[in-house]
């Protein structure tokens, strides 16, 4: 189980405090904010990008990002691949799935992902390494609904592992669970939880 501390909107000194007690994985959802923090903070921090990534912003993080968890389309993966190639890196990524009931949430459907992973186009991408799946559950008090959504993501992981990544030992991550719902996510098989508010308190959006 890995903990990604979600440090979006948090000041440098608060991140530094957690670094000093040993935390190394941090998550951000805005590329330029992540790059600014990367530049100031110690270089052994592993940065996970977890937000909406516009293709014209990939370049600002591609040279240092550890994992892009929120790859939600074939188009975006191709762009990440090409920018990774231009800096001579192979970047770890996760496929984000749409598991919530809210239409506003992003991500692949399982059919889209399967079609894409079976395609020539996917096999031509040599500068990205798919290490797992990511998803966000519906924001609701209905625990059964949330639990079902996490179980669905775990099921997608198993399907993809079996059909496309049997021989890829690095395909092993299921990133699910935030401050409100991580206990359920862990029960349903999460390998990475992404937690902000429960650690820092409520964010101050400025
Ligand atoms: C902000 C965010 C989190 C953390 O949310 P908290 O409720 O503060 O724990 C996790 N995942 C993603 C994708 C986020 O944008």
Of 54, 46, 98, 105, give the one whose Cα is nearest residue 80.
54
The two tokens of residue 41 are: 């903070």
Domain ranges of the chain: 2-200
pTM, two decimal places: 0.97
* pLDDT tens, the chain, 206 aa long: 999 999 999 999 999 999 999 999 999 999 999 999 999 999 999 999 999 999 999 999 999 999 999 999 999 999 999 999 999 999 999 999 999 988 777 899 999 999 999 999 999 999 999 999 999 999 999 999 999 999 999 999 999 999 999 999 999 999 999 999 999 999 999 999 999 999 999 988 76
Residue 130 Cβ inside 6 Å of ligand 1? The answer reads: no
Ligand 1, residues 9, 10, 29: which to mutate, most atoms within 8 A of Cβ?
29
Q: Are 195 and 179 in contact (CB under 8 A)?
A: yes
Instruction: Please state which CATH number belongs to domain 2-200.
Output: 3.20.20.10
């Amino acid at each position: 189980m890995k903990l990604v501390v979600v440090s979006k909107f948090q000041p440098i000194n608060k991140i530094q405090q957690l670094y000093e007690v040993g935390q190394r994985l941090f998550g951000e959802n805005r590329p330029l904010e992540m790059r600014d923090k990367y530049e100031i903070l110690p270089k052994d921090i592993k940065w996970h990008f977890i937000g909406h990534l516009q293709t014209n912003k990939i370049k600002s993080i591609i040279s240092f990002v550890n994992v892009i968890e929120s790859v939600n389309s074939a188009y975006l993966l191709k762009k990440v691949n090409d920018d990774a190639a231009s800096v001579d890196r192979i970047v770890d990524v996760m496929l984000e799935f749409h598991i919530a009931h809210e239409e506003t949430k992003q991500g692949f459907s399982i059919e889209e992902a399967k079609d894409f992973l079976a395609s020539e186009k996917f096999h031509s991408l040599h500068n990205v390494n798919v290490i797992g799946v990511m998803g966000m559950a519906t924001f609701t008090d209905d625990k059964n609904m949330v639990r079902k959504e996490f179980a669905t993501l775990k099921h997608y992981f198993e399907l993809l592992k079996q059909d496309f990544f049997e021989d890829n030992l690095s395909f092993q991550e299921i990133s699910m669970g935030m401050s409100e719902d991580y206990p359920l996510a862990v029960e349903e098989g999460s390998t990475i939880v992404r937690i902000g508010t429960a650690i820092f308190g409520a964010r101050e959006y400025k």
